[in-house]
Amino acid sequence: VGRSFQGEEKVNEQGKPAGFWEARTGWGRLKEFLLLEPLPGGARWAAAFGSLLLFVFLLQIVTGILLTLNYAPAEKTAYSSVKFIQEEVSYGWFIRSVHHWGSSAMVILLLFHLVQVFVWGAYKRPREFTWMIGVLLLMCTLGLAFTGYLLPWDQKAYWATKVGLGILGTVPEVGDGMRTVLQGGPEIGNLTLTRFFTLHGFVLPGLIILLVVVHMYLFRLHGVTPGWWQSPAQLKAREQPFWPYQAWKDGVLALLFLVGLGVWCYYQHAPLEAQADPSQSYDARPEWYFMFLFQLLRYFHGPYEIIGTFVLPLVFFLILFFWPFLDRSPHRNPFRRPIAMSLLVLGTMGLVGLTTFAIVTDVKMHEPEIAQKKEEAKPIAGPIQRLDVAKLYSDHCVACHGVDGTGKLIRPGMPTIPDFTSLAWQMSQTDLEIVHRIRDGYEPLMPAFKEKLQPSQHIALAIYVRAFAIEHVGEPGAIAAVTPPVTTVPPATKEVQPKTEVKPKEPTKTEGIVVATPVASSMPVAELYRAYCLACHDLDGRGTIIRKAMPEIPNFTDAKWQTAKTDPELLHSILEGKGKFMLPMKAKVNKDDAGRLLAYIRDFKEGKQVVKVEPKELAVPPPRSEPAVVPAPAPAPGAPAPAAPAPTTAARPTPATPLQPQVAEDNAGRIRVAAVYFKQYCLNCHGIDGRGTEIRPAMPMIPDFKQSAWQEAHTNAQLAASVLDGKGTLMPAFRGRLDESQVQDLIAYVRAFGPTTLAQAKKPPSSEFEGQFQQLQREWETLQKQLNEIGPKKDK
Amino acid sequence: MSLLALLVLVPGVAYFLGPLFRRSGSSAMGDSTGHFLDAGPLTEFAVGEWRLVNVELVRQNGWEKSRVQRSIWVNRQREPADSFFVLSPICPHLGCPVNFRQDQRRFVCPCHGGTFDTKGTLISGPPPRGMDSLQYEVRANRLWIKWQDFKVGVKEQLPVTV
């Protein structure tokens, strides 16, 4: 069949028959047209900047498409997806950095190209339209820069865009409408993101491609502008084809640029600030190449504002656009164009000067980046509101404790995490204890928030935590027999309305608390990791389990992550915390220990290391001689002792108890400490309700502390022996971890699970300990009642 | 040919300019715009002290309703009792959030340097008018504030309907 077409066979210029592709596509001619363009005067480095600009644009398209793969333009997702790109996606940080810095590079190169063309006089007849298309390309690029700035949806993005749109809104007559259309509504939101994304990803790049094609066409039509110093004969003599001479120069320049940009991006990651928050104040700044405009706006006040926002930029644009028709002198030699050149120098000086002045005088630009990112405990401006506390909770607690407060997501990694909805847990905690744990943390994993949050916020959070139990009122709890049922606590106590209750007396409340001293230095590094990092970061350092709740968690085995993070950066993260979830550990580990942890984390690289976990080691740092939680406001001599557990009771006069206050105080403290020990050592098997239900299938011998039969069959001495020396094959010995008196307290706690409390109360106390314990119960009831009484008053 | 172009362009342009045509009325249901919002009990506000109060609005945000937070500058007055200065923190220049500078006893916009006195009146800088005051009510010993956006960059105080 092919032969019948032989007559039509194309021939190339040398008269030889064309090849397969040539015959079908005319590729050779295209190649010739595209590549063999003769350049009068030969290849020049100076001519390579235009094509470099094209190269950068292509680079932006490629990186832009890659970013789009992982980007979701909506208010709820934009920031998280960019953070995901930055911190999770492999090489995401690099691609984003190239796109971010590439945009700056493109603006710089564009301006350079513009100045070059201006000096060369390359806009003069017949190349006026090439220039004008170029000016339009400049506008489109600035449009890309503006629309792209919003997409990460961080604070900088939001406020810069707000101001930018504000500027647009000042345009007479149509400004408001343009702003509304761009914004997709009366204020910045979801529709602004989708519109900006469409403009940034489709409309403007499409327009640029179109304009570039026209620009190139005109450029080829008129040819390279020859140097003004060369005569036509000289030009002709040194003529070279584009390929390979100019192409080689273009390629080398592009390569140099790419390497430079790559190195820059490697060391200077694209910034990402906190998520956009319209209610947080922020010093809005545009990207540096808009700073001249920003500075300009400071000089036009009141009704003259429009001059800075609209008139000057418009005049500037019009002059630039129509410049080829304004400057009609035929000379291209810069020395024969004094007016044009002085305008150029003035304009450049004006722009550079304004930009430099704005950046140098602007305080905001000098703040070290790390200081901006650091989350500080901000002074609360107004009364704490429920939604503030809800936000606090979702910012600081949700990752581990879950939205529902059950902590079930993280429990596989952190068996000791409490279930806030459990009445048993609620009853085992005093308000003061909860506040204390929020403030100072709780070994081994609960971090301290005293640096991140204010005292009133600690208390507000504690009340929020209390509120989780409301829906679970009526569930049988372990200590319910000891204390009044929680139903008597009116909901008002638990609603987050700490405004009236909380603020005034916080300093006195926290002073009495013995702060847990760090024990980290005495632990081997593996143990350190187990105690502080394991629950989230996992045995293998990958953080797989928790990632569902905490998408930002890094993978320590990832070589890219390891190389991306410098030692000081990681040390800072360990000590000061990072982002929402990585919590500061400086209260628990000192710099040296953090250094040891860092070295340990480095060893995870490429999965070389897995932490070995033996269950008993997973427990906790060794017990202290002092209990971790001791509410100990020393009562002034003679004065009635403050009833410690409920923070709000501290300032109220307490009804005198029948006991010596000092002793009661001590006992209340002890039983709470016992609750702590129970949770540390016993909870895993015996369960929060003491019934051991969960583990019984595996461990049929485990007792049910609630059964009166079991309670009656064992004496305290027997129980003490079991606790200290272990029992059977599975009950471990706790000698060395608990001392005798702690064991006694623990037994009292275990006894409290039993149904015999009421009967016991009627019986005369059979031992000194039981007598003490009953007094303790009464003490507790009183305290609980006081707490309840306070509840309703808060509302008034 | 031009008919073809027209047939494509008209609905296309109308689609693009959509936001212009739905300026009000679209947000009738469930929006807290136009309602007074609880800003806390009066006891929380010390007389003569500027404080930033957060309120929460529900707004139609494209395809969903969003809770948005707004902060508002509030200052309780001694005379007459239970009267307040309630100022929107949005700078009337171009919309930056204005801070109260305790050391200078005035409001300063961090962007283009506009300054306002303790009543929100313009002292210096580029803003075309003073800070916008918001309506408030005192109900049952609590302060209630109505949030309102205003057009920035113009001398007149023009409410923006959301």
> Of B64, B68, B75, B112, which to mutate for an interface test with A (greatest number of A Cβ within 10 Å)?
B112
**Which helix or strand (DSSP H or E) is residue B83 part of?**
strand B83-87
Compute, in degrees rounded to 10, the torsion defined by CA atoms A613, A618, A622, A627.
170
What integer pLDDT is reported at residue B105 of this predicted model?
87
What is the residue-averaged pLDDT of chain A? 75
B152 and A183: CB-CB below 8 Å?
no
Closest CA–CA distance from residue B17 to any residue of chain A (Å): 6
Q: Count CB neighbours of A602 within 10 A.
A: 15
Give B-chain residues touching A305 at CB under 8 angstroms.
93, 126, 128, 153
**Residues comprising chain A, all counted:** 796
Cα(B72)–Cα(A521) distance, integer angstroms = 47
Residues A603 and A609: beta-carbon distance below 8 Å = yes
Residues A620 and A443: beta-carbon distance below 8 Å = yes
Cα(A216)–Cα(A231) distance, integer angstroms = 25
Condensed to tens digits (0 to 9), the pLDDT of residues A127-159 reads 999 999 999 999 999 999 999 999 999 999 999
Cα→Cα distances A265→A91, A106, A565, Å: 11, 15, 14
Cα→Cα distances A376→A195, A276, A449, Å: 34, 17, 11
Q: Out of B43, B70, B94, name the one closest to residue A166 (CB).
A: B94
Closest CA–CA distance from residue B29 to any residue of chain A (Å): 17
Q: Count CB neighbours of A77 within 10 A.
A: 15
* Residue A628 amino acid letter: A
What integer pLDDT is reported at residue A430 of this predicted model?
75
What integer pLDDT is reported at residue A136 of this predicted model?
97
Q: Count CB neighbours of A338 within 10 A.
A: 9
Cα(A40)–Cα(A45) distance, integer angstroms = 14
Token digits for A776? 């303790």
* Half-sphere exposure at residue A708, Cβ-oriented, CA atoms within 13 angstroms: 6
Cα(A136)–Cα(A322) distance, integer angstroms = 11
B54 and A187: CB-CB below 8 Å?
no
Cα(B32)–Cα(B29) distance, integer angstroms = 9
Asked if A167 reaches chain B (Cβ–Cβ under 8 Å), the answer is yes
Condensed to tens digits (0 to 9), the pLDDT of residues A41-83 reads 888 888 899 999 999 999 999 999 999 999 999 999 999 999 9
What integer pLDDT is reported at residue A674 of this predicted model?
78
* Residue A292 amino acid letter: F
Cα(A664)–Cα(A658) distance, integer angstroms = 10
3 state SS of A196: helix
- Minimal Cα distance from B53: which residue of A? A382
Closest CA to A556 of A603, A524, A523: A603
Cβ within 8 Å of B, A 180-209? 180-181, 183-187, 189-191, 194
Cα(A730)–Cα(A696) distance, integer angstroms = 12
Name the β-bridge partners of B138.
Answer: B143
**Which helix or strand (DSSP H or E) is residue B2 part of?**
helix B2-16
Token digits for A511? 């002073």
Residues A538 and A413: beta-carbon distance below 8 Å = yes
Condensed to tens digits (0 to 9), the pLDDT of residues B59-117 reads 888 888 888 888 899 998 887 778 899 999 999 988 888 988 888 888 988 888 889 99
Token digits for A572? 């800072």
Asked if residue B11 has pLDDT above 70, the reply is yes
Condensed to tens digits (0 to 9), the pLDDT of residues A181-236 reads 999 988 899 999 999 999 999 999 999 999 999 999 999 898 888 888 888 888 88
Which alpha helices (H) appear in A495-623, and where do they start and end?
A: 498-502, 506-511, 525-532, 534-537, 559-564, 567-576, 591-602, 615-618
Closest CA–CA distance from residue A154 to any residue of chain B (Å): 15
DSSP conformation class of A8: G
Give B-chain residues touching A75 at CB under 8 angstroms.
61, 66
What integer pLDDT is reported at residue A770 of this predicted model?
58
Condensed to tens digits (0 to 9), the pLDDT of residues B15-56 reads 999 888 875 444 444 445 567 888 888 888 888 888 888 888
Cα(B97)–Cα(A283) distance, integer angstroms = 8
Q: Are strands B136-139 and B122-124 parallel, antiparallel or unpaired?
A: unpaired
Q: Count CB neighbours of A114 within 10 A.
A: 18
Give A-chain residues touching B124 at CB under 8 angstroms.
301
What integer pLDDT is reported at residue A608 of this predicted model?
64
Q: Out of B64, B125, B162, name the one closest to residue A187 (CB).
A: B162
What integer pLDDT is reported at residue A382 of this predicted model?
44
**Torsional sign, CA A702, A708, A713, A719:** positive
Asked if A294 reaches chain B (Cβ–Cβ under 8 Å), the answer is yes
Asked if A162 reaches chain B (Cβ–Cβ under 8 Å), the answer is yes
* Residue A633 amino acid letter: P
What integer pLDDT is reported at residue B47 of this predicted model?
86
Tell me what percent of chain B is helix, strand and coil, each rounded to the nearest 5.
15, 40, 45
Which alpha helices (H) appear in A362-430, and where do they start and end?
A: 369-373, 386-396, 398-401, 423-428
- For residue A316, give every residue at least 6 positions away whose Cβ sits within 8 Å of its Cβ, in sequence order, or none: none
Cα(A11)–Cα(A14) distance, integer angstroms = 8
Burial code (b: 16+ CB inside 10 Å, e: under 16) for A365-374 equals eeeeeeeeee
> Of A191, A301, A372, A497, which to mutate for an interface test with B (greatest number of B Cβ within 10 Å)?
A301
What integer pLDDT is reported at residue B51 of this predicted model?
87
**Residues comprising chain B, all counted:** 162
Give A-chain residues touching B107 at CB under 8 angstroms.
none
Cα(A518)–Cα(B41) distance, integer angstroms = 41
Give A-chain residues touching B110 at CB under 8 angstroms.
281-284, 364
* Residue A221 amino acid letter: L
Closest CA–CA distance from residue B3 to any residue of chain A (Å): 24
Token digits for A708? 């009166």
> Could you tell me how many CB contacts below 8 A there are between chain A and chain B?
155
3 state SS of A781: helix
Q: Which residues of chain A have pLDDT under 70?
A: 1-16, 363-388, 413, 443-444, 469-522, 531, 535, 545-546, 548-550, 579-581, 583-584, 587-588, 607-669, 671, 698, 729, 755-777, 779-796
A163 and B94: CB-CB below 8 Å?
yes
Asked if residue B155 has pLDDT above 80, the reply is yes
- For residue B130, give every residue at least 6 positions away whose Cβ sits within 8 Å of its Cβ, in sequence order, or none: B92, B116, B119, B120, B121, B122
A298 and B113: CB-CB below 8 Å?
yes
What integer pLDDT is reported at residue A320 of this predicted model?
93
- Minimal Cα distance from A282: which residue of B? B97
Please give the distance of CA A693 from its chain centroid, rounded to a whole number: 40
DSSP conformation class of A588: T
B153 and A383: CB-CB below 8 Å?
no
- Minimal Cα distance from B51: which residue of A? A381
What integer pLDDT is reported at residue A637 of this predicted model?
41
Asked if A654 reaches chain B (Cβ–Cβ under 8 Å), the answer is no
Asked if A279 reaches chain B (Cβ–Cβ under 8 Å), the answer is yes
Closest CA–CA distance from residue B34 to any residue of chain A (Å): 15
Cα→Cα distances B138→A795, B78, B85, Å: 18, 15, 13
Asked if residue B8 has pLDDT above 60, the reply is yes
Compute, in degrees rounded to 10, the torsion defined by CA atoms B16, B18, B20, B26.
-160
Q: Out of A177, A189, A382, name the one closest to residue B52 (CB).
A: A382
